[in-house]
Structure 1
């Protein structure tokens, strides 16, 4: 695995040794995240007799959707805290420790949801500190002028993500089978503990990357931040207490309120950019108008795509014959199909986009992604109709995930790139986090779609979501010329200003 450079310094596949430290940390963190994700919804919906929480599948879907949304939403304050207070290195360390404590809380084998709620809150908090900052540290391992080598380093880093994402459902799902949920949660805690150990042991190889905050707060600013954070925490706790005391609180209503708040974030943010006086040029405004279309398309995409750990997981559990090549599998195992297909198809799509070049633009790719997502749910509608006669082959889900991955590889790699390219100069740094808000909106709204199950049949539910995605894809495709003009105008303004496109 390691080779010697000309200066006798050990490297990791020809890259800085610190990449191995961050690779392993991220792999184990993703193992813990995807392991929990693979069993969380089914645990929530399992009866108390089966050591579950006894929630309805609709409520479990909504809560998991909100949980996933908050994971992405807290990346914004997590990056800010690292940049202003902790530094990336300590933010990752504390984030991993808090995540581990969250999984330990969930692993405590007691009845009720108190430790589960505490665990999820800790995992959300810790992920906000770890996830955005460990990626930033990868970039800091390389000199400024080594762009190509840095890009290759990120490719290796993301390989760790897919390894963790693939292994987690297999291991955690197997351990949690037979209603041993807390054993599965324990495996996720052990995974994060291993990641922390590797991170601490390999600290010396990071060469000081992320040691200091980029823009450290002054003592006065830190006091103001602490006061504001404490005030916000007290306000939220007070509001929840009053809501509970009123007797109208329910988990379903709570998930709906949080979803509405999450949706309000990008609406308010885009209104702030376009309606405020920020000295935006007309070309920057045209770029933002195009980006709002792409942002909305991405949110619709993730609304369907991230139903994998909830609606599709329940379908695997209740409607399919869990057997592959004659071997029995768990419902959680189906969550490993996606990362497996991604690992196989990434090189194929990378070569395809190079071959197609500028003939296929970002709006084209987003429209294609929506069509693929819609097509996958047409397949789900057909599978659900067949399942009304009895359990069907799990190969239907294999097909669904394969089609969805075609869409993801058309949309996901483009997201951050197009965000950077279209962001106004005054908002370059902030806009990098906006892409993750699209995922948060999609996850939160997707969780709420389970409410439709109270009014329509399962095949009609899947077909309704398919039609939403297909209609969004058709609309996006129809507006490709207009969006290309808006983006081209913005690109030309960047070129005239002397800044190369991102």
Structure 2
């Protein structure tokens, strides 16, 4: 029986079960590792850590997240032109597993940076292509598609919710390396399940590159890759000769790359002869959404950095591992999703606010989550330990914002893309997160106890103001309003 006609997993194609658990275990491994990685870097050696200062650790966490999203460009290219989705996902999972193994061994900073490289590349290979394979399970007119993606996203959040709790417990009660080994085991289970089950139930198309690299293109590709490697080596050599080759200079270089890449994408789309005049107007209208998404992700992604530091240093934990707060993000997504599905599909339906208005509201909620975090310090002083509910409420607010921005942004990206750049526009959407985390690599350096109140207030109020300006722009600027209405 063709897997598209099989309905053995909650009424969905059987292959969805394979991809559901593959992504669930991958997210288990990634978010379990991420929940304790900052603490591993900044805790002193007698607590099992590497002894980095908090500023350096926070910057590394942010640029790490940025590179994970940027590496999706490589994964997409390999799947489309060389390996096909099935093999690209498998190799990505193997790299991720070995990355976690590197952290599970007492290899110090060598293990840390080796792990970052392997997991960054592996996640770039795996994550975007699993989503592509989910889409390939369905025909274009299959009514089960939306429900299938909802089940798939639930798997992502289930793995992300469980892992910080389990990994965090082992970090506190055993040690960091045993905790990291759980992430490696999780990815190993995912690979076994993906390999055995996937051979039976995944579309054969996913095992072939849809647009294979032609022989005449290979020489050009080798030259481009070689040139890129030479440029990187030259930059590193210059930094070495000038005595500036260090962690901070590497972070600054990667920040510049992450900011440059989306700009280059927009320039190409706007100047391409393949883009019509009408499509160009839609791309211009999309730029405010990209900036809004970037501002949102600046706050949302600081949950694993700034709020993690707040949880560890200024929260009355009462024996709860600080890493457990990282489960709040997926928990609130799972709690809020049914409500927003009901709101958009049942309650409002044809009376939904425009895409730009949803984005504006999302920014306001995200900004308020940071304004809220300024109040504990203002009321009681920054040198106290606060009730955990301050953090819980902050995460609840920002996740309302995510419900208003993340799924809506994906939809708008697909509908506002020029025909010649459909896939690239979804890549650009993911780059909004990469650019935000690159910006965070610089912003988090400003966070400290003596700057905490101003830090939360300034970032929060700027985000709220941006939301209000986007709301006004959506209502007042006809070109923007028309384009966003079409995407809604």
Give the TM bin, normalised by the shorter chain: over 0.9
Aligned to 1:34: 31
* Counterpart check, 1:82 vs 2:79: yes
How many Å separate the matches in 2 of 1:393 and 1:316? 10
Aligned to 1:199: 194
- 5 Å-filtered alignment, 1:62-73, equals 62-73=59-70
Aligned length: 483
Preserved contact between residue 32 and residue 168 of structure 2 (Cα < 8 Å): yes
Preserved contact between residue 265 and residue 428 of structure 2 (Cα < 8 Å): no
Q: 1:375 to 1:93 in 2, by over 3 A?
A: same
Q: Is 450-459 or 78-87 further displaced after alignment?
A: 450-459
How many Å separate the matches in 2 of 1:226 and 1:283? 36
Preserved contact between residue 307 and residue 447 of structure 1 (Cα < 8 Å): no
How many Å separate the matches in 1 of 2:408 and 2:293? 11
Preserved contact between residue 51 and residue 179 of structure 1 (Cα < 8 Å): no
How many Å separate the matches in 2 of 1:461 and 1:9? 53
- How far 1:77 moved relative to its partner? 2.1
Per-residue CA deviations over 1:151-179 (Å, capped at 9, x if unaligned) read: 11111111110110000100111111257
Q: Is 452-461 or 416-425 further displaced after alignment?
A: 452-461
- How far 1:422 moved relative to its partner? 1.1
Aligned to 1:266: 262
TM-score by length of 1: 0.91
Q: Is 258-267 or 195-204 further displaced after alignment?
A: 258-267
Per-residue CA deviations over 1:292-330 (Å, capped at 9, x if unaligned) read: 00000100110111001111001000000114xxxx310
* Counterpart check, 1:320 vs 2:325: no
Preserved contact between residue 363 and residue 483 of structure 1 (Cα < 8 Å): no
Per-residue CA deviations over 1:109-142 (Å, capped at 9, x if unaligned) read: 133x112101110101111111111111111122
* Counterpart check, 1:475 vs 2:455: no
* Counterpart check, 1:253 vs 2:249: yes
Q: 1:489 to 1:235 in 2, by over 3 A?
A: closer
How many Å separate the matches in 2 of 1:101 and 1:375? 40
Per-residue CA deviations over 1:335-380 (Å, capped at 9, x if unaligned) read: 0011111101101011112323344011101110111011111111
Per-residue CA deviations over 1:375-410 (Å, capped at 9, x if unaligned) read: 111111112333525211111101111111110000
Q: Is 85-94 or 151-160 further displaced after alignment?
A: 151-160
Aligned to 2:295: 300
Preserved contact between residue 474 and residue 481 of structure 2 (Cα < 8 Å): no
TM-score by length of 2: 0.94
Q: Secondary structure, in 3 states, of the residue corresponding to 2:244?
A: coil
Q: Is 237-246 or 41-50 further displaced after alignment?
A: 237-246
- How far 1:279 moved relative to its partner? 4.8
Q: Gaps (5+ residues) in structure 2?
A: none
Q: 1:319 to 1:154 in 2, by over 3 A?
A: same
**From 430, 436, 446, the counterpart of 1:436:** 430
* Counterpart check, 1:130 vs 2:121: no
Q: Is 95-104 or 230-239 further displaced after alignment?
A: 230-239
Q: Gaps (5+ residues) in structure 1?
A: 493-500
**From 97, 110, 116, the counterpart of 1:114:** 110
How many Å separate the matches in 2 of 1:119 and 1:484? 49
Preserved contact between residue 319 and residue 387 of structure 1 (Cα < 8 Å): no
How many Å separate the matches in 1 of 2:375 and 2:82? 52
Aligned to 2:22: 25
Aligned to 1:362: 355
4+ long deviations beyond 6 Å: 7-10
**From 323, 329, 345, the counterpart of 1:332:** 323
- 5 Å-filtered alignment, 1:225-236, equals 225-236=221-232
Aligned to 1:351: 342
Preserved contact between residue 287 and residue 487 of structure 1 (Cα < 8 Å): no
Preserved contact between residue 422 and residue 487 of structure 1 (Cα < 8 Å): no
Preserved contact between residue 32 and residue 187 of structure 1 (Cα < 8 Å): yes
- How far 1:224 moved relative to its partner? 3.4
Per-residue CA deviations over 1:448-493 (Å, capped at 9, x if unaligned) read: 112223695211111111111112112111211245643525877x
Q: 1:491 to 1:410 in 2, by over 3 A?
A: closer
Q: Secondary structure, in 3 states, of the residue corresponding to 1:44?
A: helix
Preserved contact between residue 172 and residue 184 of structure 1 (Cα < 8 Å): yes
How many Å separate the matches in 1 of 2:460 and 2:105? 39
* Counterpart check, 1:53 vs 2:50: yes
Q: What is the aligned-residue RMSD (CA, Å)?
A: 2.3
Aligned to 1:497: none
Preserved contact between residue 71 and residue 127 of structure 1 (Cα < 8 Å): yes
